[in-house]
Amino acid sequence: MRQAARSTGIGLLFAALLLPQSGFGAEFIVRSVATELKDDVYQLNARIDYTFSEEAQRALQSGIPLIILMDIQVDKQRSWWWNKEVAHLQQGYLLIYHALTKKYIINNLNSGAQQNHKSFTAALQTLGQITGLPLIDKGLIEADARYQIHLRVYLDIESLPAPMRPLAWLSSDWRLSSDWYTWPLQP
């Protein structure tokens, strides 16, 4: 279902490309990614800069929950054919503002862990620090093959309330996404 929604989203994105851009500077940037082998599991450490548009911050402070998705894909490189996808995982983070306690809450949708932050900046900083995320078991990695990891983060427009979606698809304030960040998997 989400896949279908995303493909329609891509359609709308093309339409949006023709519209004038605004909200310049609001973007997600993957600063660095590294992997380390710990207990026969490759773990991911990454630092990501999140910059939200004012519109998105206003929505968050008005109680609209935002979901940030992180797509990670491990490809086995093949010289004679297209790369083969070995692993694909998606991490989801729910960002909510709790008015009563004046706290920004980050909810990891995969683990259910919750963190509270007094300020938005602090929340973003925490969100941008990925430490020790288990990526792939060592047994799934062939020693003589080469692998690439692709990573990107984006705001999930489809999880916004329905009335916001048509405008969100068309507005650069809401099309918040990083480019695909690619690096080789170091054993």
Please identify, using beta-carbon distances, which residue of 121 and 186 lies nearer to other proteins: 121
Per CB under 8 A, the segment of 19-27, 43-51, 86-94, 116-124 that binds other proteins is: 116-124
- Give strand ranges (E) for the chain: 28-38, 41-50, 66-76, 84-98, 103-108, 114-117, 129-137, 147-155, 181-184
Evaluate whether 148 touches 63 at the Cβ level (below 8 Å). no
Q: Does 117 bind other proteins (CB under 8 A)?
A: yes
Binding mask 60-99 for other proteins (x = CB under 8 A): --xxx---------------------------------xx
Looking at 31, 38, 51, 58, which residue binds other proteins (CB under 8 A)?
58
- Pairing, β 28-38 against β 114-117: unpaired
Q: Which stretch binds other proteins (CB under 8 A): 35-43, 71-79, 132-140, 165-173?
A: 165-173
Minimum distance, C-beta of residue 140 to other proteins, in the bound complex (Å): 30
**Which residue has 């799934």 as its token pair?**
140
16 contacts other proteins (rule: CB under 8 A): no
Q: Which residue has the tokens 């909510």?
A: 96
CB 2 within 8 A of CB 158: yes
Distance (Å, whole) CA 13 – CA 59: 21
Contacts of 20 (CB under 8 A, 6+ apart): none
Q: Name which position in 69, 169, 178, 185 contacts other proteins (CB under 8 A).
A: 169
Interface positions with other proteins (CB under 8 A): 1-2, 4-5, 8-9, 11-12, 58-59, 62-64, 98-101, 103, 105, 114, 116-119, 122, 158, 161-167, 169
